[in-house]
């Protein structure tokens, strides 16, 4: 590896930001006192989402310098390169065109001389036709029974998007259908998913971009065995109970799935950017084609906003820059994503792959080691549950944890006082984090001196609040696209390859070496380090003596 990269840190805007931070940004309490309009000024409404970013440790000058950083990093050219289908995934020589998945029919996006938009719509039509047949009951299982259970088998991007979207949009789902998602190689995942299901009424969607992923292929084979047991080994049943979503027609066919029942996508769709491709088939079956199209429309609205809005009023650009400010200038290690919407319970898990598999990189696009931090760790839980578990650390711990609060004006389940109380909590948390409680305030409440330090909240803890009217398929599309483009903005500025994932390979290769050592009937001679050798021997012994 060549020496450290200093291209980013020697940029004028970067140096100016470092100086701005070093000179001292006043406490949020003072920033709000000095500028009575701050809470209204540092907000933005675009594509139906509202962002309040006033509770970040920034001045007007910081904001201006952050925008300069985006400009000096050539962000506009990067955005155009992606939308124009240039091969910006350089280590895999691929275009990065998840934006084409939600482009309207009349759009044109050229890859290798071919407009890919008609192909996208052709697959959408095929998915729609299948979804209509399945939802209406005209697609039947091999014994003539209606399909009532759908199991998506996939992992990573072929699982997290479908699960998250299913949970997020459950309100809109056909409740006469049961959906399950099997991802883990741990047999428990499959066993529990089918435990109460009738195989004659069950359809498997095998979702895998490559159709080689060991977890998915092993689960798919187990599913085939489970199904065929009910049909006494008659493999003609497979055509009625298995469909595939993949870019690899040859391997789909080899597995025994009729390619007529295969829904394709393309190598220019990254796994973690694929929930709106055919990988979203389970989502479409659950919410119906019309709602799925509304979700795509939401994605597209955010794409257009990102592509065309000036940086100072561009939601993903602003949130991306604020993330860089917190990560690189304040040393924040993580970002907490805190949806105040129970249906978004899997949203933080979904974002973990999107953000960390994309920007968890240690070299620049030129292969030079970075001398700055890249992706922070994303995590989170829905509010208000998190308040009664880890918020203590966010409020009074020693670490700086920037938070993204996500909230909706209208509840989907409008029951009594619940929603007002929920919303009061999200607003209160952001307020408490920013303004805290001073020692003087604590003492003025008559708290004894020895107890006062424990009750002080230093405040000055940054957060964004994102609000939308209510959680709909369209809004979910906007939210996901917002984070996709935040990741893009940060990756472009950090000058890293956001669209490959070489970091997952080594473990996969080593596991392939170890599998035969665990399965071997005769005692193997493992040739790893002494720790791994010892663990392998111990496992073999314990497994045998079960």
Token digits for 318? 């602003």
Token digits for 443? 């003492």
Q: Which run of H or E residues covers position 168?
A: helix 160-168
Taking CB under 6 A as the rule, does residue 96 contact ligand F6P?
no
Would you give the distance in Å from CA 311 to the centre of its chain?
A: 23
C-alpha closest to that of 89 among 70, 122, 111: 111
Closer residue to ligand F6P in complex, CB, 19/504: 504
Taking CB under 6 A as the rule, does residue 153 contact ligand F6P?
no
Contact 182, 131 (CB under 8 A): no
Nearest distance, CB of residue 504 and ligand F6P, angstroms: 4
Cβ atoms within 10 A of the Cβ of 313, count? 12
Taking CB under 6 A as the rule, does residue 158 contact ligand F6P?
yes
Taking CB under 6 A as the rule, does residue 504 contact ligand F6P?
yes
Nearest distance, CB of residue 126 and ligand F6P, angstroms: 19
Token digits for 296? 């795509």
β-partners of residue 180 are: 151
Closer residue to ligand F6P in complex, CB, 217/467: 217
Which parts of 265-294 interact with ligand F6P (CB under 6 A)? Answer: 271-272
Taking CB under 6 A as the rule, does residue 59 contact ligand F6P?
no
Taking CB under 6 A as the rule, does residue 98 contact ligand F6P?
no
Binding residue count for ligand F6P, defined by CB under 6 A: 14
Closer residue to ligand F6P in complex, CB, 394/480: 480
522 CB burial (10 A radius; 0-12, 13-18, 19+): exposed
Closer residue to ligand F6P in complex, CB, 231/350: 350
Taking CB under 6 A as the rule, does residue 156 contact ligand F6P?
yes
Q: Please indicate whether residue 508 is annotated as part of the active site.
A: yes
Taking CB under 6 A as the rule, does residue 473 contact ligand F6P?
no
**Which residues lie closer than 8 Å to 135 by C-beta, 6 or more apart?**
174, 177, 285, 288
Distance (Å, rounded) from C-alpha 104 to C-alpha 17? 40
Alpha carbon dihedral 88, 94, 96, 97, in 10-degree steps, equals 140
Distance (Å, rounded) from C-alpha 344 to C-alpha 170? 10
Taking CB under 6 A as the rule, does residue 218 contact ligand F6P?
no
Closer residue to ligand F6P in complex, CB, 270/473: 270
C-alpha closest to that of 393 among 322, 352, 336, 331: 336
Closer residue to ligand F6P in complex, CB, 265/379: 265
C-alpha closest to that of 385 among 351, 417, 425, 334: 425
Taking CB under 6 A as the rule, does residue 245 contact ligand F6P?
no
Closer residue to ligand F6P in complex, CB, 114/504: 504
Taking CB under 6 A as the rule, does residue 380 contact ligand F6P?
no
Q: Please indicate whether residue 55 is annotated as part of the active site.
A: no
Taking CB under 6 A as the rule, does residue 497 contact ligand F6P?
no
Nearest distance, CB of residue 120 and ligand F6P, angstroms: 18
Distance (Å, rounded) from C-alpha 168 to C-alpha 188? 24
Closer residue to ligand F6P in complex, CB, 421/515: 515
Single residue of 216, 277, 314, 358 touching ligand F6P by CB under 6 A: 216
Single residue of 94, 209, 419, 461 touching ligand F6P by CB under 6 A: 209
Question: Is omega for the bond preceding 384 within 30 degrees of 0, making it cis?
Answer: yes
> In Å, how far are 187, 425, 546 from 519, measured between CA atoms?
16, 53, 15
Distance (Å, rounded) from C-alpha 455 to C-alpha 457? 7
**Applying CB under 6 A, which part among 20-28, 184-192, 203-211, 453-461 lies near ligand F6P?**
203-211
C-alpha closest to that of 73 among 315, 311, 367: 311
87 CB burial (10 A radius; 0-12, 13-18, 19+): middle
Contact 387, 21 (CB under 8 A): no
Nearest distance, CB of residue 360 and ligand F6P, angstroms: 12
The catalytic residue among 200, 341, 357, 484 is 357
Taking CB under 6 A as the rule, does residue 208 contact ligand F6P?
yes
**Applying CB under 6 A, which part among 62-70, 207-215, 323-331, 486-494 lies near ligand F6P?**
207-215
- Of all residues in the shown chain, the one whose CB is closest to ligand F6P is 271
Taking CB under 6 A as the rule, does residue 213 contact ligand F6P?
yes
Taking CB under 6 A as the rule, does residue 54 contact ligand F6P?
no
Q: Please indicate whether residue 454 is annotated as part of the active site.
A: no
The catalytic residue among 22, 388, 454, 541 is 388
Which parts of 352-371 interact with ligand F6P (CB under 6 A)? Answer: 357
Nearest distance, CB of residue 167 and ligand F6P, angstroms: 18
Catalytic residue set = 357, 388, 508
Q: Where do contacts with ligand F6P occur on this chain (CB under 6 A)?
A: 155-158, 208-210, 213, 216, 271-272, 357, 501, 504
């Amino acid at each position: 590896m060549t020496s450290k990269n200093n291209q980013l840190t020697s940029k004028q805007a970067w140096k100016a930001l470092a100086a701005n931070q070093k000179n001292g940004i006043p406490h949020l309490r003072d920033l709000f006192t000095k500028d009575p309009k701050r809470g209204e000024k540092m907000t933005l409404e675009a594509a139906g989402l509202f962002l309040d970013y006033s509770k970040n440790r920034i001045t007007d000058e910081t904001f201006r310098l952050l925008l300069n950083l985006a400009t000096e990093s050539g962000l506009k050219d990067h955005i155009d390169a992606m939308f124009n289908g240039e091969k910006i995934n350089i280590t895999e020589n691929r275009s990065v065109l998840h934006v084409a998945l939600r482009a309207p029919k009349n759009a044109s996006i050229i890859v290798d001389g071919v407009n890919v938009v008609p192909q996208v719509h052709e697959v959408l039509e095929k998915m729609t036709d299948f979804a209509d047949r399945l939802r209406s009951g005209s697609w039947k299982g091999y014994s003539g029974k209606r399909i009532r259970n759908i199991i998506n088998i996939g992992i990573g991007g072929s699982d997290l998007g479908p699960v998250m979207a299913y949970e997020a949009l459950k309100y809109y789902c056909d409740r006469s259908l049961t959906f399950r998602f099997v991802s883990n190689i741990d047999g428990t995942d499959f066993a529990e998913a089918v435990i109460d299901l009738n195989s004659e009424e069950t359809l498997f969607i095998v979702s895998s971009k490559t159709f080689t992923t060991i977890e998915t292929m092993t689960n798919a084979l187990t599913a085939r065995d489970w199904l065929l047991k009910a049909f006494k080994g008659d493999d003609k049943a497979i055509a009625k109970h298995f469909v595939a979503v993949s870019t690899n027609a040859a391997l789909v066919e080899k597995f025994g799935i009729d390619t007529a029942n295969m829904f394709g996508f393309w190598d220019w769709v990254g796994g973690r950017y694929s929930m709106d491709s055919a990988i979203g088939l389970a989502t479409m079956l659950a919410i119906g084609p019309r709602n799925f199209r509304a979700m795509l429309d939401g994605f597209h609205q955010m794409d257009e906003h990102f592509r065309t809005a000036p940086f100072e009023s561009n939601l993903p650009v602003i949130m991306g820059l604020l993330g860089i400010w917190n990560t690189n200038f304040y040393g924040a290690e993580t970002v907490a994503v805190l949806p105040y919407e129970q249906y978004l319970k899997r949203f933080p898990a979904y974002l973990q792959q999107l953000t960390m598999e994309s920007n968890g990189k240690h070299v620049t696009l030129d292969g030079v080691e970075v001398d700055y931090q890249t992706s922070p760790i994303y995590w989170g839980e829905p509010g208000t549950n998190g308040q009664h578990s880890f918020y203590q650390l966010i409020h009074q711990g020693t670490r700086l944890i920037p938070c993204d609060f996500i909230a909706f004006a209208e509840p989907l389940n409008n029951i009594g006082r619940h929603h007002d109380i929920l919303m009061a909590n999200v607003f209160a948390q952001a307020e408490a984090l920013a303004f805290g409680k001073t020692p003087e305030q604590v003492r003025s409440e008559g708290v004894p001196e020895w107890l006062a330090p424990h009750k002080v909240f230093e405040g000055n803890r940054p957060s964004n609040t994102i609000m939308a009217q209510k959680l709909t398929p369209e809004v979910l599309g906007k939210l996901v696209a917002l984070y996709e483009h935040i990741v893009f903005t940060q990756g472009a500025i950090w000058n890293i390859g956001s669209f490959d994932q070489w970091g997952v390979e080594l473990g996969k290769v080593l596991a392939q070496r170890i599998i035969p050592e665990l399965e071997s009937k005769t005692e193997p001679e493992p040739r790893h380090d002494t720790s791994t050798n010892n663990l392998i021997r111990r496992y073999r012994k314990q497994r045998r003596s079960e």
